[in-house]
């Protein structure tokens, strides 16, 4: 295994590690505000639940893009 594999590993780490920072903070803000909305207006609960899941999924995919790139980089290492 040559030295290039080490640099690819760092690239994979950046792709999946930094990508998760924004998604994590974003999901926390979205979920937190959703709980607040549920508490303030209980009858809107159904819509908020649906869109919370949609928003969490949108943010999750941001990190999954990084995960995909990281996996593809891992395949290049061998």
Residues in region 29-68 near a copy of itself by CB under 8 A: 29-45, 47-49, 51-56, 58-68
Q: Which of 69, 76, 78, 55 is nearest to 17 (CA)?
A: 69
Name the minimum Å distance from CB 50 to a copy of itself.
9
We find the least distance from the C-beta atom of residue 43 to a copy of itself, in angstroms, to be 7
Site for a copy of itself in 11-30 (CB under 8 A): 11-30
Contact 16, 70 (CB under 8 A): yes
Which run of H or E residues covers position 69?
helix 45-77
> Contacts with a copy of itself: how many residues (CB under 8 A)?
74
What tokens were used for 40? 């303030």
Q: Give the nearest distance from C-beta 4 to a copy of itself in angstroms.
A: 4
Q: How far is it, in rounded angstroms, from Cα 63 to Cα 12?
A: 12
């Amino acid at each position: 295994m040559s030295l290039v594999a080490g640099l690819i590993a760092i690239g994979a780490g950046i792709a999946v590690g930094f990508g998760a920072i924004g998604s994590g903070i974003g999901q926390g803000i979205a979920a937190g505000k959703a709980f607040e909305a549920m508490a303030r207006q209980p009858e809107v609960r159904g819509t908020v639940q649906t869109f919370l899941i949609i928003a969490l999924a949108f943010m999750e995919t941001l990190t999954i893009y990084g995960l995909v790139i990281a996996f593809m980089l891992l395949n290049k290492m061998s």
